[in-house]
Amino acid sequence: MAPRMLLARHGQTSWSLAGKHTGRTDIPLLEEGRRGAKLLGERLHRAPFDGLADVEVRTSPLSRARETCDLAGFGERARDWDTLMEWDYGDYEGMTPAEIQAVRPGWLIWRDGVPGGESLAEVTARADEVVARAREADRDVLVFAHGHVLRSIGARWLGLPLDFGSRLRLNPTALSVLGWAYGEPAIESWNDLGHLSP
């Protein structure tokens, strides 16, 4: 069976709660984010995942992703990978979409990019690197990372342009699974938050 890629977005932070673009600023998890990370880990350690004994684990080195990985119980198995860091938002770091649109009406990151940060081509290249690594693996790959980069990976897994990521909503501590259907790349599940429900 071809390998799958499991995507875990980091838990809630004060900036994600406020809707601020959080690229390379190292914001810690809120208590809610820590609780979500533990619940995600509990889910991944019971059926049907059963702890993913053979999975390759990679994480963004930023503390919000690394701590989510640790709290989920995969820290000792995980390797930091800079390629999984969030989009570098440049001049728009720490701003909400509304604040950006006040100075740049109609702005959409997936189409317009960011001044002073990463270009669309650079983010595409990083997402493609992650997809290629997962497809070359002889086992499933579990990654802990950030909203925009994971949405970018989802789009590129499907072979679609980066801007398809705008159509892939992804909440904090969400679990998504990229796999295959009839030999073609497919989304098995996306933005699954079942582990957060009582």
Distance, in Å, from the CA atom of 138 to the CA atom of 2, rounded to the nearest integer, reads 8
Cα gap 121→66, rounded to integer Å: 26
Burial of 80 (C-beta count, 10 Å sphere; 0-12/13-18/19+): middle
| Catalytic-residue membership of 129 | no
| Residue tagged active-site, from 10, 21, 146, 195 | 10
CB–CB of 66/60 below 8 Å? Answer: yes
Q: Which residue among the candidates 86, 146, 148, 195 is catalytic per the annotation?
A: 86
Residues in the chain: 198
Token couple for 43: 């889910």
Per the omega criterion (within 30 degrees of 0), is the bond before 161 cis? no
- Amino acid identity at 141: V
Active site residue 86: yes
Residues with a known catalytic role: 10, 86
